[in-house]
Structure 1
Amino acid sequence: MNGVDIDNKVVVITGAAGRIGSEYARAVAAAGAVAVIADTSEENGRKLADEIIANSGKADFELLDITSKESVQRLITVLTERYGRVDALVNNAYPRNKRYGARLEDVTYEDFCDNVGTHLGGYFLTSQQFGLHFQKQGYGNIVNMASIYGVVAPRFEVYEGTRMTMPVEYAAIKSAVIHLTKYLAKYFKGSNIRVNCISPGGILDAQPVEFLDKYRAFSLSKGMLDPQDLTGTLLYLLSDMSKFVNGQNIVVDDGWAL
């Protein structure tokens, strides 16, 4: 991306073995940074790291459980010893239990708390621990992944006629991620730490045609996005081009939320 300089930066991407995270890792490495693939899936994570390295990029894989303080602290220690610094954290992991995605009337209190706790709680924990490390380091950058459903109310009509729904946990989590971002940006004021988030629209993943058509009707051109459509915004937030962008939520949704 023209004008974006993140060469040799050490960028931790949680959930980097997944659909969006893997594109983030490829984009970060292509821009010259070290893509640290932090994930619970060792097989997929190492495979992605090998792919990036085979294409002349810089990548590492490290096991990470975002709900474990010990795991997060171990990652920070390993990377600091290896590289002497950590430049940025991208909170992209998407933890959820096997019952996630049920309709409102079928969601139990226990499942709601479990899913909110692991996802939002994990983002809190990683941001807390990396933020404290960044304070000692003298600088740092955190990018959180939120969603348009953290910005606008669900459009349940686009799910009609399908087996899909918009999980209530997701709305609660992603709206909270946006405000957590603002909280952290303000809390770390004067510490040379930036905290921002990206709210993407829907991402293509073999959804039924009837859903895609209804979704596209609210969009201004493309409709559902590809993961690659988000990488430019991430690179911007990781670079000095955005050095005075702090506490912000950038919506990338093809105008869907208008």
Structure 2
Amino acid sequence: MEKLLENKTILVAGAGGLLGSRIIPEALKQGAKVIAADIELDSMQKRLSSMGVDIECDNISFAQFDITNEENVKSLFSDPSLALDGAINTTYPRNKTYGKRFFDVTLQSFNENLSLHLGSAFVFTQQAAAYFLENKRQFSLVNISSIYGVVAPKFEIYDNTTMTMPVEYAAIKAAIQHLNKYVVSYVKDSNFRINCVSPGGIFDHQPEAFLAAYKGKTHGAGMLDVEEIVGSVLFLLSDQSKYVTGQNIIVDDGFIL
């Protein structure tokens, strides 16, 4: 049986992060050649090695890459040695004051976070489109949104914790979904697709009070393991989703219902 990503070359931005590092071994298993890009090259390689990825194998290469640097992004997509079939952006750039409670967020901080996260998603998406128009290869881009780009936060699940749901995050993740639709409508070519995956909460050792409250809003799964997001990403990168475009796959065990 042919593997899902057989003979495809996939760029993974944010390859050293929580989601990117889990996508890579599964993409390799599905026959992909992977370009793993991250701002921290050494830590990315160490993390992947610790997960059993053979970083010396022929099917993986590495790029040091700052997604908030426009010239970095343009340079990566204009590399003449690339023959990309798709890309996944799992990066999550933010400033040092990100994540404060609503009335404590300054306009400067809000604007900076939008610039870092939404701005970098814009330039990555823009350059993916430019790459497609230059090379005329079938191309599938996956951006990461969130359940909180779809529905308002359920603030009660943060009671009895120091956590909150950052306003910047909600604004950015909602905007990414419409950015996708704008760009695929602008390019208007069946061979160029952009879609989103919107995860529910991903387990990362949050406080017990939060985990219990969150679980009560799902159909029983509670917080998801990051691996449970990967299948939807691989589906959207593959030809199994050949005419799926401008869509958003929500993976949340019913949290938003």
Unaligned runs of 5+ in 1: none
Which residue, 86, 90, 102 being the options, matches 2:88? 90
In structure 2, how many angstroms separate the alpha carbons of the residues matched to 1:215 and 1:30?
32
The structure whose residues are more often helix, as a share, is 1
* Superimposed CA distance per residue, residues 56-75 of structure 1 (whole angstroms, 9 cap, x where no aligned partner): 67222211111222101221
- Counterpart of 1:202 in structure 2: which amino acid? G
Unaligned runs of 5+ in 2: none
- Counterpart of 2:206 in structure 1: which amino acid? Q
In structure 2, how many angstroms separate the alpha carbons of the residues matched to 1:4 and 1:172?
37
Please report how far the alpha carbon of residue 3 of structure 1 lies from its aligned counterpart in structure 2 after TM superposition: 6.8
Please report how far the alpha carbon of residue 192 of structure 1 lies from its aligned counterpart in structure 2 after TM superposition: 1.6
Give yes or no for contact 2:68–2:93 (8 Å, CA) kept in 1.
no
Provide closer, same or farther for how the CA distance between residues 3 and 32 of structure 1 changes in structure 2, counting only shifts above 3 A: closer
2:176 aligned with 1:177: yes
If the length of structure 1 is used for normalisation, what is the TM-score?
0.93
Please report how far the alpha carbon of residue 190 of structure 1 lies from its aligned counterpart in structure 2 after TM superposition: 2.1
Corresponding residue for residue 243 of structure 2: 244
* Superimposed CA distance per residue, residues 170-204 of structure 1 (whole angstroms, 9 cap, x where no aligned partner): 00000001111111121121262001000000000
Please report how far the alpha carbon of residue 46 of structure 1 lies from its aligned counterpart in structure 2 after TM superposition: 2.3
Give yes or no for contact 1:143–1:198 (8 Å, CA) kept in 2.
yes
Give yes or no for contact 2:9–2:33 (8 Å, CA) kept in 1.
yes
Please report how far the alpha carbon of residue 55 of structure 1 lies from its aligned counterpart in structure 2 after TM superposition: 9.1
Corresponding residue for residue 193 of structure 2: 194
Please report how far the alpha carbon of residue 54 of structure 1 lies from its aligned counterpart in structure 2 after TM superposition: 5.6
* Superimposed CA distance per residue, residues 81-139 of structure 1 (whole angstroms, 9 cap, x where no aligned partner): 1x4x1111111100011111100111111110011111000000011012111112113
Give yes or no for contact 2:45–2:55 (8 Å, CA) kept in 1.
no
Corresponding residue for residue 158 of structure 1: 157
Corresponding residue for residue 37 of structure 2: 38
Provide closer, same or farther for how the CA distance between residues 133 and 56 of structure 1 changes in structure 2, counting only shifts above 3 A: closer
Secondary structure of the equivalent of 2:151? coil
Q: Percent identity?
A: 44
Moved more, 167-176 or 35-44: 35-44
Give me the CA root mean square deviation.
Answer: 1.7
- Counterpart of 1:123 in structure 2: which amino acid? A
